[in-house]
Structure 1
């Protein structure tokens, strides 16, 4: 398999140290913690999607939150496979195709989250700056079309990362699910190192600009304009949804910024430099922190929206009530069946007893009749 020279010389442990590291308590704790976090994230986002999708009145805000939660659910659903990768000694054993799909989910969530947060910020900006236009044209159907366009754009942005993802065999026997920038080489002879550097730097800055910098600039511009307009009007209305968006944006930046910083450092650091070794060790941790954003968002939805929290409690209560009602009905049915069977047995026993008692009496009467004769 042809791959970039940098991928062949990645600073990774030898087979003996790798297997020994898998047995340490720290590695076991990390794997268990990662599995626990992934499970919590899946349950949280399933709950948010279920409640917002089926128990909350459809509105523009609920459509935004539903799409954010769907993206987070898709990301957290892929976390158990990363936990499996860690548990098997940081080696990928699920094949090349699933390697590309798993990585694509990670990047898809990154792009969708950034695009959606930027769109939500522009939406709030238009509501304040152009209230008449928002009243006439801002409806659920428009927001749904915007969300569909965002998902399509995110998929298009994810395609290059799918194409250049590959499984690479390492000298220590492990299999790495990482970039292979020499796939689909252009026609004609090209320098392998130059091709790898160009594609690596291009994808790194593409992620940085599209998934972090541009959404962040849109968010800052939007809320700056909103605050300026409200300040001129002299009003300080407590926008609950604005507080939610600000919390989600802060979480998004804190979780994703380290990953993008390390990706750019990896793309610019020369081969063999000490910084490159540090970055290659820090990238898996920063990727896990990026996944953590999908686990934090449902918590922010609940604590920033008391109505959503009450609906979640109501939904869980309704589910438990239905389960208990079904269990009580099943118990009552079983009890009635048992009582019916007991009553039937009693009737049978009574009939048998009557037959038994009747038979001796008849025999005695016949014997006495014979004696009298």
Structure 2
């Protein structure tokens, strides 16, 4: 999975200075296997999801939104080996300044796009249930393609600070760290530079928290709460499964992203406490599994997707290992479906 999107904590010391400069062994022991595992599982599973959505299913509004949601996780996953290697070498960054900026801006891009697409999916379901007539007239693949483009452009713009403020720094022991430097474009007295850099850091934190957590969390919660009330009011469903899925979606979003923002808030303080390290560990765990858990949660609630996914995987293995497999099975898999 993609870490979804955590971009600041991964390559930054969890101690002020190198602590003499080594990451606590517990964080290192958890981070390295977790990130490499997330890379392997995330690329394989999300790659299969993308293949099925792109080539085996009809291009509907749902399919397009889910495709780009998973694409954001898939792209972010390719940065995880760089992050894991840095942890493995006690936070030493050996890939240069350009990759320092690219890796962190890509992680940030993945974070923003994933939460934006999760919000867009929630709004889309809200409109389908509460405004069916409007949805029938205006909810088209072409219109949602414009929204998708807007999400990617907005996420890229919000990720720009990591191209500007992220830089490498050589330490006294000849090791190199990749971290944010909010004074990089500031000249002047040391005390004024420090105060201004702290203000910039605070502004980045507040903006990121509002845009990538508080607002999406409000949107997702509002949409599913209204959907739930509408469904109960009309008595459309006899099963409680849709409501469990809605509650799970809200809780999973909160649990996966809240530790990250708490950790970023703790980093605003000058001292790094054991609490900060604890939330770093929580952040690594929750954001690593989020990239696999979120798409699986949403996609596997659709019976059509599960059926086509199973048929597609069987057809893929059959065509790979059986030279005499017939084309008829492959044609059967290419049926149009929706989530």
TM bucket normalised to smaller: 0.7 to 0.9
Which stretch shifts more, 286-295 or 217-226?
Answer: 286-295
The structure, 1 or 2, with the larger RCO (C-alpha pairs under 8 Å, 6+ apart) is 2
Which stretch shifts more, 319-328 or 125-134?
Answer: 319-328
Shift of 1:298: 3.9
1:326 alignment partner, SS class: coil
Aligned to 1:166: 167
- Within 5 Å, which residues of 2 pair with 1:81-230? 81-185=82-186, 191-230=192-231
1:61 lines up with 2:62 in the alignment? yes
How many residues align? The count is: 315
Q: Is the 8 A contact 1:13 1:172 kept in 2?
A: no
Aligned mate of 1:299, from 296, 299, 307: 296
Which stretch shifts more, 177-186 or 243-252?
Answer: 243-252
Shift of 1:286: 1.6
| Structure 2 gaps, min length 5 | 1-11, 327-339
1:69 alignment partner, SS class: helix
Q: Please tell me whether Structure 1 or Structure 2 has the larger radius of gyration of its CA atoms.
A: 1
Rounded Cα–Cα distance in structure 1 between residues aligned with 2:285 and 2:174: 24
Pick closer, same or farther for the CA change 1:258–1:33 going to 2, 3 Å. closer
User: Cα deviations across residues 220-247 of structure 1 (Å, max 9, x unaligned)?
Assistant: 2222222333343343366988865654
Which stretch shifts more, 79-88 or 60-69?
Answer: 79-88
Shift of 1:87: 2.1
1:39 lines up with 2:37 in the alignment? no
| Structure 1 gaps, min length 5 | 1-5, 330-373
Pick closer, same or farther for the CA change 1:92–1:60 going to 2, 3 Å. same
Shift of 1:48: 0.5
Shift of 1:107: 1.0
Aligned to 1:10: 16
Rounded Cα–Cα distance in structure 1 between residues aligned with 2:280 and 2:125: 34
Pick closer, same or farther for the CA change 1:206–1:328 going to 2, 3 Å. closer
User: Cα deviations across residues 188-234 of structure 1 (Å, max 9, x unaligned)?
Assistant: 99801111110110111111100000011111222222233334334
Rounded Cα–Cα distance in structure 1 between residues aligned with 2:250 and 2:172: 41
1:12 alignment partner, SS class: coil
- Within 5 Å, which residues of 2 pair with 1:19-34? 31-34=32-35
Which stretch shifts more, 157-166 or 204-213?
Answer: 157-166
Shift of 1:133: 0.7
Rounded Cα–Cα distance in structure 2 between residues aligned with 1:221 and 1:31: 37
Q: Is the 8 A contact 1:75 1:294 kept in 2?
A: no
Shift of 1:90: 1.9
Q: Is the 8 A contact 2:228 2:243 kept in 1?
A: no
Shift of 1:29: 7.2
Rounded Cα–Cα distance in structure 1 between residues aligned with 2:199 and 2:234: 50
Aligned to 2:330: none
Q: Is the 8 A contact 1:60 1:140 kept in 2?
A: yes
Q: Is the 8 A contact 1:72 1:109 kept in 2?
A: yes
**Structure 2 length normalisation: TM-score?**
0.81
1:314 lines up with 2:320 in the alignment? no
Q: Is the 8 A contact 1:38 1:80 kept in 2?
A: yes
Rounded Cα–Cα distance in structure 2 between residues aligned with 1:274 and 1:39: 32
More helix by share: 1
Aligned to 1:346: none
Shift of 1:74: 1.0
Q: Is the 8 A contact 1:48 1:69 kept in 2?
A: yes
2:322 alignment partner, SS class: helix
Shift of 1:83: 1.6
1:50 lines up with 2:47 in the alignment? no
Pick closer, same or farther for the CA change 1:104–1:294 going to 2, 3 Å. same
- Within 5 Å, which residues of 2 pair with 1:336-351? none
Pick closer, same or farther for the CA change 1:13–1:121 going to 2, 3 Å. same
Rounded Cα–Cα distance in structure 2 between residues aligned with 1:78 and 1:234: 46
Pick closer, same or farther for the CA change 1:144–1:311 going to 2, 3 Å. same
1:91 alignment partner, SS class: coil
